[in-house]
Amino acid sequence: MMLRLIISVLGTLAIAPYTVTAHRYGVDLSVATNEDTWQCLMKEKNTSYAIVRAYRSIGELDENAAQSIIAANSAGIRDLHAYIFPCVSSSSYSQKNGIECESPSEQLRSTIDYLEKNGITVLRQNSVEASGPVVRRLWLDVEDEDPSTYYDSDPAVNQKVLDEFATAAASEGVFLGIYTTMTYWTNIMGGVEGYSQYPLWYPRYDAEDSMDFFEPFAGWEDVLIKQTGGDVGFCGITQVDSDYMEAV
C-alpha cells in the first residue's frame, strides 16, 4: 500500500472516549512485525498508534496482521486499527488472475472473525470493556492505479461495493473509516457523497505535520489521519508508512 482512540489499561482495558491532544505520530504497515519492532518505533519515532493490513485486494486475509497487532499491544501501543483493501471480482486484476472475491459483507465478516479468533477484540458500538488488544476501527482502502486495476472501471459498481461494506459494518456495529484522496475518490467512486460520516485517512507525501493541504470534497470537511510518507523504512521495516494526527 502507498499503500489510531485511546484505551487505558490496568489488566482489563476500559474503552475511553477520544481525548484532544497535540500532534500524534503513527505508522501503517502490511508486513510481519514483533514486539521489539514496535518498541523501536515508539522510542525512535514516537509512535502511538498503528494501522495494520488485515485483508488483501487478492481476496485473502493478511495472516501477518494478528501477530503484528498483538506485538504492538504488548509493546504498549493501545490505539490499534486494521485496514481492508477490498477485493472486487470485476476488477481487471481479479479477472486476469481468476479471483472470485467474497461479497463485501463476507470480507468484513472474515476480517472480524480472523482477528477475534486470534484474541483481538474488534470494538463495537456500545462496547464497555475488553481485555487484550482492541482494534478500534476498520479502514477501507479506496485507492487504485490508472487505469483501474483493483477496482472496477465503473464507479457505479464500486459504489455498490462500498455501500455493502457500510451496511455490513452497521449491522456488525463496528466502526469504519476510509483511506482515499480527492483524486482516488473521483476516479473510483465518481465523487459520490454520503460517506463523510466516516473519518478520513488521507495520503499526502509532503512530510509536513500539518493538515493545511486539505481541500473539502464529497462532504468531508477535515482529515483525521494524514499519511505523510510511504515505505519510509523505520526500524528496519521495508513496507511501513508514516502517519500524523492532530485532533485525538
What is the reported pLDDT for 161? 98
Q: Which three cell numbers stand for residue 64?
A: 501477518
Render each residue's pLDDT in the chain as its tens digit; 248 residues.
444 333 333 233 334 444 445 799 999 999 999 999 999 999 999 999 999 999 999 999 999 999 999 999 999 999 999 999 999 999 999 999 999 999 999 999 999 999 999 999 999 998 777 789 999 999 999 999 988 999 999 999 999 999 999 999 999 999 999 999 999 999 999 999 999 999 999 999 998 999 999 999 999 999 999 999 999 999 999 899 999 999 65
Q: Are 211 and 199 in contact, with CB atoms under 8 Å apart?
A: no
CA distance 223 to 246: 9
CA nearest to 135, candidates 56, 86, 74, 66: 66
Q: Which three cell numbers stand for residue 52?
A: 495494520
What is the reported pLDDT for 10? 28
What is the reported pLDDT for 152? 98
Q: Which three cell numbers stand for residue 182?
A: 480527492
What is the reported pLDDT for 166? 98
Quick one: CA torsion of 54, 169, 164, 239, rounded to 10 degrees?
Answer: -20
Residue 55: strand, helix, or coil: strand
What is the reported pLDDT for 247? 62
